[in-house]
C-alpha cells in the first residue's frame, strides 16, 4: 500500500512541493521516510499543557528513532478552570468541534502517514480522538499526565479545594487569608488537575479504548516515565503505520463498552458521557445513554477518587494504574479481552501481568465501594431523554430526595443566590437555558456546586441543570437534563416552589406536577431569545444536537 504522504512528495510534478519542504530545512532523506504529523496542543494558558512542548519533543525523538520524519503543528486549547463562571465557558465544549475540524483540515491538506496526538485537558482530548476517528489513519494519543496534589495544613488538596474554599469563606468557615494560602498551594505545578476530573477521566479512557499506551492516564506529568512513554508512543506510531492499524480497527463497540466499564469502576466525570458518544459517532459506532445505563447497573465502583473520594491520580498510578483496574473488573467478565489496542496486543495481553498494588485505592471486585458504577442515568417526566449524575460523589442522605424548586435562567443568577445565602436546606436549585443550544455551549457548573459544598449545604440541597458539570463537581448535581429548556424540554416548565423528586436507586427524576398542569404551562411557554447573536456560538447553537446524543454538530 502506498503511503499517504507520497501524494505530496513523490514524482516529477511534486518538485515544487519538495522545494517548499526544503525551504524549511528538510532533506531528501527525511522526505523519503514515513511522515508523521505530531499534533501539539501546548500553550501558555493551561497548566496541563504548559509542558507539552517537552512531551512533543520526546514524541518526535521516538518517531526519528523508529525511522520516521515528524512534522509538528498546533491546535487550540482552553482551560476550563480559568473559563469557569463567565462567558468564556460557553466556548469550552464548542472548542471540541474546532479542534477536531482543524486536525482534519491539516491532515487532509498535508496527507500524513500517521498521527501522534499530544494533549492533556478536557475538550482537547475528545476533539483529537474525534479527528482520529474521522480521518482513520494510523494514530496514537499521548497525554501530558496528571498534576500532583498540593499540600495545605497537612492534607492533600487540589483545584476543587479552592473552588469550595470560596463558599467556605462566604459561610464564615474559612478566612480570606487561609483561602489565599490554599490558592498558592493547591496546584503545585504542571499537569491536568489532580483528581478524576474530566481531563484525567478522558486520558484514562483513551488508554482503556486502546488508543493510548498503558500508563497514559496516570503517570504524573513531572515523572521521567512520562517522557519515556512519549518516546515509546513516537516509536509505536511507526509500527502502526507499517501494519496499517487504524483507529477504527481498535475503537469498536466492544472497545467503547470496555471504556464505559472502566468509567463506571473509576467514577469518572459526567462529561465522559458526552465525549464517548461524540467519539463513537465519528467512528460509526452506535452508542447511546442506554449503554451507559446498562453498564452502570453491572459494573461496581471500585475506586474512590477526588472529588468523590480521598485518592488522587498519583495514588491510582502507584496502585497499578488503569491496567490494574481493568485486571480487577475482568475477574467478573466485565471486559472484552480480545479487543486490539495500539500496542498491537489485545486488552487481555496488555493486562496479563498487571497487579493491584494497593487495595485501599483499587478495591477488590468482591469488595467494592458500591455495587453499581460511579455514573448513573436518570429518566422521568423531567428528563424524558435522560440526565446524568456522578452518583459516587453523592452523600447517602441525598440519594432519595424531594425538594422545592428554586428556578434560575442562568448560572450567574443561581450562583449569586447561593453565595448570598438565599438557598436553604430542602431546595433544588434549577439552572436552565444553559444547554448545548440555550447556553449556548452547555457551560460547566463548578462554581455553584462548589459554593453549595463550601457552604456546607451539599447534604441538604440538590442542583439540576440542562448544562453540565466539571469532573470536580460533587454532591446531588444532575446535569445533561434532556430535552433542554431551549428545545422546550420539561425543565423549561418548572416554576418556583414545584416539588422535584430525585431517586438514584430507582434512576428517576420527576417533576411532581400533574400532566394537565404541564400541558397548560407548555401552551404558554415561549423560548428565551438567543444569548449570543453572532459568530461561531450562534452557528453552533443552530447545529448542535441534544446532550443525550453527545452534543454533536449536525448538518
Cα separation, 156 vs 309, whole angstroms: 12
Written as one string, the DSSP assignment of 243-298 is HT--HHHH--HHHHHHHHHHHHHHT--THHHHHHHHHHHHHT----HHHHHHHHHH
How buried is residue 263: exposed, middle or buried, by Cβ count under 10 Å (0-12/13-18/19+)? Answer: buried
Cα separation, 173 vs 472, whole angstroms: 21
Using only C-alpha atoms, what is the Rg of the chain? 23
Q: Which of 289, 291, 311 is nearest to 302 (CA)?
A: 311
Secondary structure string (H, E, C) spanning 283-338: HCCCCCHHHHHHHHHHCCECCCECCCCCECHHHHHHCCHHHHHHHHHHCCCCCCCC
Q: Under DSSP, is residue 390 helix (H, G, I), strand (E, B) or coil?
A: strand
Q: Under DSSP, is residue 503 helix (H, G, I), strand (E, B) or coil?
A: strand
Contact 195, 306 (CB under 8 A): yes
Count of CB atoms situated within 10 Å of the CB of 467: 30
Cα separation, 76 vs 274, whole angstroms: 20
Helical (H) or strand (E) element with 170: helix 159-170
Number of H helices, E strands in the chain: 21, 14
Whose grid coordinates read 491520580? 313
First to last CA, the chain: 33
Helical (H) or strand (E) element with 385: strand 383-390
Q: Under DSSP, is residue 451 helix (H, G, I), strand (E, B) or coil?
A: helix
Can you read off the three cell numbers belonging to residue 383? 428528563
Q: Which of 160, 280, 123 is nearest to 209 (CA)?
A: 280
* Given 410, 470, 546, 548, the catalytic residue: 470
Cα separation, 509 vs 320, whole angstroms: 37
Cα separation, 550 vs 555, whole angstroms: 15
Count of CB atoms situated within 10 Å of the CB of 420: 9
Q: Tell me whether residue 161 is one of the annotated catalytic residues.
A: no
Which residues are the active-site residues?
470
Amino acid at each position: 500500500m502506498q503511503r499517504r504522504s507520497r501524494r505530496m512528495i513523490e514524482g516529477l510534478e511534486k518538485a515544487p512541493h519538495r522545494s517548499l519542504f526544503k525551504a524549511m530545512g528538510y532533506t531528501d532523506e527525511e522526505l523519503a521516510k514515513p511522515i508523521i504529523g505530531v499534533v501539539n496542543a501546548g500553550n501558555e494558558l493551561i497548566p496541563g499543557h504548559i509542558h507539552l512542548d517537552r512531551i512533543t519533543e520526546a514524541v518526535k525523538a521516538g518517531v526519528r528513532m523508529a525511522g520516521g520524519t515528524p512534522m509538528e503543528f498546533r491546535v487550540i486549547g482552553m482551560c476550563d478552570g480559568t473559563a469557569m463562571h463567565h462567558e468564556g465557558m460557553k466556548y469550552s465544549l464548542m472548542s471540541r468541534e474546532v479542534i477536531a475540524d482543524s486536525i482534519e483540515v491539516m491532515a487532509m491538506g498535508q496527507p500524513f502517514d500517521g498521527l501522534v496526538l499530544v494533549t492533556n485537558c478536557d475538550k482537547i482530548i475528545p476533539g483529537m480522538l474525534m479527528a482520529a476517528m474521522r480521518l482513520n489513519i494510523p494514530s496514537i494519543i499521548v497525554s501530558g499526565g496528571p498534576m500532583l496534589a498540593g499540600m495545605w495544613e497537612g492534607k492533600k488538596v487540589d483545584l476543587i479545594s479552592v473552588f469550595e474554599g470560596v463558599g467556605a469563606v462566604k459561610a464564615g468557615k474559612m478566612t480570606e487569608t487561609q483561602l489565599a494560602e490554599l490558592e498558592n498551594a493547591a496546584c503545585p505545578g504542571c499537569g491536568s488537575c489532580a483528581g478524576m476530573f474530566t481531563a484525567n477521566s478522558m486520558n484514562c479512557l483513551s488508554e482503556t479504548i486502546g488508543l493510548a499506551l498503558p500508563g497514559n492516564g496516570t503517570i504524573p506529568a513531572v515523572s521521567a516515565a512520562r517522557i519515556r512513554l512519549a518516546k515509546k508512543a513516537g516509536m509505536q506510531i511507526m509500527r502502526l503505520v507499517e501494519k496499517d492499524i487504524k483507529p477504527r480497527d481498535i475503537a469498536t463497540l466492544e472497545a467503547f463498552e470496555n471504556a464505559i466499564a472502566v468509567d463506571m469502576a473509576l467514577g469518572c466525570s459526567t462529561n465522559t458521557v458526552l465525549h464517548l458518544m461524540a467519539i463513537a459517532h465519528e467512528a460509526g459506532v452506535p452508542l447511546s445513554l442506554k449503554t451507559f445505563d446498562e453498564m452502570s447497573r453491572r459494573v461496581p465502583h471500585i475506586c474512590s477518587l477526588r472529588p468523590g473520594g480521598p485518592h488522587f491520580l498519583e495514588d491510582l498510578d502507584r496502585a497499578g494504574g488503569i491496567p490494574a483496574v481493568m485486571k480487577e473488573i475482568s475477574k467478573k467478565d466485565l471486559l472484552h479481552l480480545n479487543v486490539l489496542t495500539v500496542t498491537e496486543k489485545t486488552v487481555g495481553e496488555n493486562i496479563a501481568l498487571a497487579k493491584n498494588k494497593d487495595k485501599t485505592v483499587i478495591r477488590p471486585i468482591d469488595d467494592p465501594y458500591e455495587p453499581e458504577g460511579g455514573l448513573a442515568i436518570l429518566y422521568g417526566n423531567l428528563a424524558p431523554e435522560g440526565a446524568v449524575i456522578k452518583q459516587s460523589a453523592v452523600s447517602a442522605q441525598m440519594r432519595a430526595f424531594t425538594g422545592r424548586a428554586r428556578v434560575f435562567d442562568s448560572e450567574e443568577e443561581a450562583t449569586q443566590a447561593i453565595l448570598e445565602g438565599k438557598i436553604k436546606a430542602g431546595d433544588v436549585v434549577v439552572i436552565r437555558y444553559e444547554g448545548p443550544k440555550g447556553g449556548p455551549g452547555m457551560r460547566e457548573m463548578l462554581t455553584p456546586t462548589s459554593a453549595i459544598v463550601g457552604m456546607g449545604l451539599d447534604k441538604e440541597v440538590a442542583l439540576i441543570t440542562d448544562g453540565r458539570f466539571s469532573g470536580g463537581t460533587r454532591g446531588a448535581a444532575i446535569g445533561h437534563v434532556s430535552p433542554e429548556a431551549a428545545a422546550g424540554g420539561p425543565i423549561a416548565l418548572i416554576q418556583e416552589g414545584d416539588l422535584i423528586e430525585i431517586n438514584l436507586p430507582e434512576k428517576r427524576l420527576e417533576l411532581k406536577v400533574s400532566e394537565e398542569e404541564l400541558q397548560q404551562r407548555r401552551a404558554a411557554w415561549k423560548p428565551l431569545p438567543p444569548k449570543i447573536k453572532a459568530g461561531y456560538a450562534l452557528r453552533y447553537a443552530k447545529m448542535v444536537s441534544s446532550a443525550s446524543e453527545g452534543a454533536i454538530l449536525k448538518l
